[in-house]
Structure 1
Amino acid sequence: MQQHHKHALLSKKNNDNFAPNEIAILGTKCTTISNLIYIISKKLTYFNLGYFDASHAKNVDENILTEYTFHYEGNLKISTSSHHNKYEQRLQFYNHDLVFINGNHYPGKKQIIILDGEKEASIQKRLSQITNIAFIIKLNKETHFFDCLVEKFPKIKKIKCYDIKDVDGITNHIESIIKDNIAPVKGLVLIGGKSTRMGMDKSTLNYYGKPQKEHLKDLFKECSLETFFSVGNISPSTNKTNEINDTFLNLGPFGGICSAFQKKPNTAWFVLATDIPFINKEIIQLLLENRDPSKIATTIKGKNKEFPEPLVTIYEPKAYGKLLQYLAQGYSCPRKMLINTDIKVIEVDDNLIRNINTCEEFKMAQLEIKRIPQT
């Protein structure tokens, strides 16, 4: 008998307790924890960092209004009336590369233990929350490893240990935790378009001795990227392992990108359209080498163009949430999302990313490509 599933079998995004990547710091005074976090954060400004803490204030009036206060230099401070739970926090922390948690108040999936001789009882109280120690910090060299920790983790003395004054060492270790969480990149060739102006399937046009979709797949392969084809809405019986059917229907490239994220939400997708035939291996490598995973996307733009090209773009996993937010507002244009969010833009010659949409343009592009020296 086939097993009944109450919910749709969706691929889950990798998450810790409250964020895609989090680390709880516990074992000493809250002020010591917060001061350390702010010092580290000043050294890691090229990442998107968050801090999840609890207030010690008493007799605080309940918020009846969510306030948004914009600073003239661009900072936004939010005071909200909402309550927290892990699902809401994951939405709020969706774009962060790492969220620090005050482990004295909330558990984190990974932990940094600060050994403070005056706080052994605090560690004993939270021992069940300590499951995955990233590293240890000592307030002073004389602080010993607490018996409760040694009993639970017999090899704890082999875990990397820093002096609290070794800010550079601690920062570098935090940076490695962030980089270890960077998503792999896969290629996505969009071949599900209607090609109305061309009058034939643009993915099958021959510029380089083979269908353009196969040419792009080979370019990705040369750059060591596993590649998938976005094929539109096709009967499941025709599915191939390297094809992703549209599950977001009638949304064009936007739907293809979202469908890829729905299937593999923990992947960064390098998206290429088949109607930009002058894309070459060098441009693909240029984007890969300049990829900034802390941004929503790394995209390309013609030097004389106003807007980026959304179909020559590396979309990070955090882009999925942004795309869905724009869809909820009634927009299905990936370019609109890109120009209104935090992205990295690489500029190239306009001619390298021009679209070919008609038979006349196709014939001219073929002649031009024949004159390009092939390596």
Structure 2
Amino acid sequence: MHENPEQDITGVILVGGKSRRMGKDKAFLEVAGKPLFERVLEVFRESFAQVVLVGNREERFADYGLPVLPDIYHGSSLGGLYTGLHNAATEYVFVSSCDLPFPSAEVLRYLCSLRNGYDAVVPTTANGYEPLFALYAKSCLGPIKRLLDSGDFCAYAYYPQVRVRYVAYEELARFDRDGRAFLNINTPEEFAKIGGNL
């Protein structure tokens, strides 16, 4: 257990996804007997003093005793990030999707430690940016709102307008010893590969 949860960062878990490719709600698929959402929540609860959920799914997550914020802009992870940032009482939020099978508390805390002087701290891997396991400051609200208002929902199209600390995977590898921190599961086949049961 992390002894000093971050006070000036709100943990924001995006729970509004439709899981179309999976065919059932990814948040509650189980790996090693624990729903994916709870795996993310466990890391967030030990890392942040405040945790909120974002998405129009209050009834599905009511049992967790956390605020569930309805989307201000519907239908995208960028809109979810905007809702979390807009409502946060802290200067920073750390955002994650709700369906990471192996979220890493060590990677999360390292990313948070780099925030001074930046509007965003974003990991990069061989697959590109990882905008949904990243840290953002309130200063991103304006650029994100302009993007959303223009109808563009790309999660990183506004990065050139803010000060981003890009964190190459090589810098994070020592915290992610099994190389699975950014694994994302979208299909039943991918889920079966990691030993999950549908």
2:73 matches 1:248? yes
- Distance in 1 of aligned mates of 2:66 and 2:100: 25
2:32 matches 1:203? no
Query: Quick check: 1:191–1:273 contact (8 Å CA) kept in 2?
Result: yes
Change (3 A) 1:351 1:216: closer
Secondary structure at 1:258 match in 2: helix
The aligned amino acid for 1:343 is V
Q: Give CA deviations for 1:22-80 in whole Å, capped at 9, x if unaligned.
A: xxxxxxxxxxxxxxxxxxxxxxxxxxxxxxxxxxxxxxxxxxxxxxxxxxxxxxxxxxx
Change (3 A) 1:204 1:298: same
Structure 1 or 2, whichever has the larger Rg, is 1
- Distance in 2 of aligned mates of 1:325 and 1:266: 22
Map 1:138-217 onto structure 2 (within 5 A).
184-217=8-41
TM-score scaled to structure 2, two decimals? Answer: 0.79
Equivalent residue for 1:219?
43
Of all paired residues, the percent bearing the same amino acid is 25
Q: Give CA deviations for 1:140-197 in whole Å, capped at 9, x if unaligned.
A: xxxxxxxxxxxxxxxxxxxxxxxxxxxxxxxxxxxxxxxxxxx810111111100000
Q: Among 152, 159, 166, which residue is 1:331 paired with?
A: 152
The aligned amino acid for 2:27 is S
Query: Quick check: 2:13–2:54 contact (8 Å CA) kept in 1?
Result: yes
The aligned amino acid for 1:296 is D
Equivalent residue for 1:297?
120
Change (3 A) 1:267 1:229: same
Query: Quick check: 1:309–1:335 contact (8 Å CA) kept in 2?
Result: no
- Distance in 1 of aligned mates of 2:136 and 2:168: 17
Unaligned ranges ≥5, structure 1 = 1-182, 368-375
Task: Quote how far apart the aligned CAs of 1:233 are.
Answer: 6.2
- Distance in 1 of aligned mates of 2:48 and 2:162: 29
Map 1:1-375 onto structure 2 (within 5 A).
184-232=8-56, 241-250=66-75, 252-264=76-88, 266-292=90-116, 294-302=117-125, 304-305=126-127, 307-338=128-159, 341-348=162-169, 349=173, 351-366=180-195
Equivalent residue for 1:109?
none
Q: Larger relative contact order (C-alpha < 8 A, sep ≥ 6)?
A: 2
Query: Quick check: 2:16–2:54 contact (8 Å CA) kept in 1?
Result: yes
Secondary structure at 2:22 match in 1: coil
- Distance in 1 of aligned mates of 2:122 and 2:49: 17
Task: Quote how far apart the aligned CAs of 1:351 are.
Answer: 4.7
- Distance in 1 of aligned mates of 2:146 and 2:32: 39
Unaligned ranges ≥5, structure 2 = 1-6, 174-178
- Distance in 2 of aligned mates of 1:184 and 1:228: 14
Query: Quick check: 1:299–1:346 contact (8 Å CA) kept in 2?
Result: yes
Task: Quote how far apart the aligned CAs of 1:336 are.
Answer: 1.6
Q: Give CA deviations for 1:314-368 in whole Å, capped at 9, x if unaligned.
A: 110111111012223331112222355320011225753132100110111237x
